[in-house]
Chains A and B, each alone.
With several copies, the nearest count.
Chain A
Amino acid sequence: IEERLGEMHKAGQTRGPIHRCDGQEAVGVGATAALEQRDYVTTTHRGHAVYIGKGLDPRRVVAEIFGRKTGYGGGRAGHMLVADASQGMIGGNAIVGGSIPAATGMALSIQILREDRVAMAVFGDGAAQTGICHESMNMAGLWKLPVIFLLEHNEYGLTVHHTAQSAVPDLHVRAAGYGMPGVQVDGNDAVAVFQAVAGARARALRGEGPTLIEARTYRVEGFSTSDMGGYQRQEDIDRWKARDPLLVSRAGLAEEADAARIAAVEKDAEDTVVAAFEAALSDPLPEFVPHAPSAPYSNAGGGR
């Protein structure tokens, strides 16, 4: 596990602009560390930690974020919709709630094909209020689909506090309405998230169906770089920053690795990230190429 922790901690150092997940890395990183490459993951507009955790190349992630030809979508998708099918990361989804039926549908496919893998949906506390979340969880529970519902509860849906958008403070309780287990974990403790997901994965592979994991964390940065702020309480931000997942995992590591080792891992991570940004930023922008006749799109703008 020391290895794993190092891995997570390293990934945790990554930074993505736009919808930052600073202070929430533990959820995405800890969860993906419990999966295999063949497992599928769908995530949200805030997926950076998940991308890195699922083994995507930081350089190509950053390239997509900056709309470069070398990005995972060749610059067509953008920061909210990164995907790498070869890693089972398909993909980011910026329609709130969209990642939930997405993973559920993959789990249905897995069940029909009798495959030995699982699908995991990462979504937020805001997404949990969408109707499609209900429909998906009911079907997952009904058919015992091999899917893991990882609810990243960061207390906000954009600017709205959860107490203003959810009738109940704790969302894992809803699992009972779908005949699946619901657990709550400390979202800033990568190890706790890792263990919860590992357990849910084993359960899904045994054919016992889905699990709802509510990982509690907090969004210490604004919703996105366009956020003008003003709706979060400073004391909350400070309280949570003191529990930054990196500090938590560093503490955890301290028991198992010596300071030098940790410093090395961190330095290494920093370097990877810096390199990724440098490389990506010097990559070319894409050019428009007309669609091939076999493509489902046409080059018409309406009319002739």
Chain B
Amino acid sequence: MAMMRYAEALNAALREEMERDPTVFVFGEDIATYGGVFKVTAGLAEAFGDRVRDTPISEQALTAMAVTAAMTGTKPVLEIMYADFMPLTLDALINQASIYNYIWDGQVTMPFVLRTQGGGGVGTGAQHAKSLDSLVAHIPGIKVVAPVTPADAKGLLLAAIRDPHPVVVLEHKLLYNTRGEVPDDQGPIEIGRARTVREGSDVSIFATSRMVLEAEKAADALAGDGISAEVIDLRTLRPLDLGAIAASVAKTNHAVVVNEDWGFCGYAAELSATIMDHAFDDLDAPVERVAALDMPIPYSQPLEEVVIPNADRIAAAARRALA
């Protein structure tokens, strides 16, 4: 058991897989010499030579190349520096990666991983603070995970690299320096399983990525008012852990869903609709959606604070659900 930073846990997963499997390679902007702008790939270039590559600023082709490299014997792990640039990768994901396993009748698999990080809170502005989870989670054939703890970061990245199909790993700029226990023998964590962060009986809060931490703060605040909130970290955005979701709502009869992306036609809408699909009769109140306000992410702190979801908004939503 070792205390590790989230970024270190990701680094450890990459290192282990690259040692174990010579077909794994890592590429992306500024990831080799510099070790990545968030230092997730630090030291890998020294250890693995040309299996760790700095690339030109060409997200569109890089993603398309990861798709076909993965069809032809390698396991690429591509880093896209900011989730804000994911639109540049979507043609490769939607028109290429999504379709081949099906339309070619199983002739090919595509074991590649696309790592990126999103989210706001540090004044990076409208082009560097978005969480575009919803765009990626919409695509058939592509799994999406969003680890919150260092242990999950390592376990889910290991699982993603070993998966025969494309997996997008959504990280968060404010999680890289968070620390947590990581078992020395931390292996792959099954994709598609949620994690109960804390049990509760009055309301279920389903959150993703950094919003799980805000949900925990909200649960503390609610506890102060005698409200027992269950906090569930979905961990995998696609495919969803329907069992865990239904079981929790069956217990609490009230639900709040939290995702840092925009709410309209967003991931929070999917969660809300899914809960209705699978637990309608258990619901005593409509599912509350908490998401970024429907506008660009502002630069100046007092404005950004209002737009990005936080513990206060989550607690308020829980109270509305219970009202």
Contact = CB atoms under 8 A, between A and B. Distances in A.
Contacts, number: 269
Contact of A83 (B30, B91, B107, B128): B107
A126 B306 CA distance: 34
B125 A77 contact: yes
B70 to A, nearest CB: 8
B263 A301 contact: yes
A98 B128 CA distance: 14
A80 B125 contact: yes
A37 interface: no
A62 to B, nearest CB: 14
Given A95-B127, A105-B69, A159-B33, A85 B56 contact: no
Nearest to B71: A90
Interface in B265-286: 266, 268-269, 272-273, 277-278
A290 B7 CA distance: 37
A210 to B, nearest CB: 13
Contacts of B56: 126, 129, 135, 138-139, 142, 157, 160, 165-166
Nearest to B278: A304
Interface string B46-78: 000011011111101110111111111110000
A160 B29 contact: yes
Given A77-B126, A98-B95, A159-B33, A104 B57 contact: no
A131 B60 contact: yes
B112 to A, nearest CB: 9
B65 A101 contact: yes
Interface string B117-156: 0000001111110000000000011110000000000000
In order of increasing CB-CB distance, the 8 nearest A-B pairs are A302-B263, A78-B299, A105-B65, A303-B289, A67-B300, A75-B300, A135-B61, A101-B64
Interface of A: 40, 42, 67-68, 72-81, 83-85, 90-91, 93-98, 100-106, 108-113, 115, 126-127, 129-132, 135-136, 138-139, 142-143, 157-160, 164-166, 226, 228, 230-231, 285-288, 291, 295-304
24 contacts: A67-B123, A67-B299, A76-B105, A77-B104, A80-B127, A90-B108, A91-B100, A94-B127, A105-B66, A108-B69, A109-B70, A112-B50, A113-B23, A135-B56, A160-B33, A295-B102, A296-B140, A296-B142, A300-B263, A300-B293, A300-B294, A301-B289, A303-B272, A303-B277
Interface of B: 23, 25, 29-30, 33-34, 37, 50-51, 53-58, 60-62, 64-74, 84-85, 91-92, 95-96, 100-105, 107-108, 123-128, 140-143, 165-166, 239, 262-264, 266, 268-269, 272-273, 277-278, 288-296, 298-303, 306, 309, 313
Given A109-B70, A297-B102, 16 more contacts: A42-B68, A76-B104, A77-B125, A78-B123, A81-B104, A85-B108, A104-B61, A109-B74, A131-B60, A138-B56, A157-B57, A160-B55, A286-B300, A291-B295, A300-B294, A302-B264
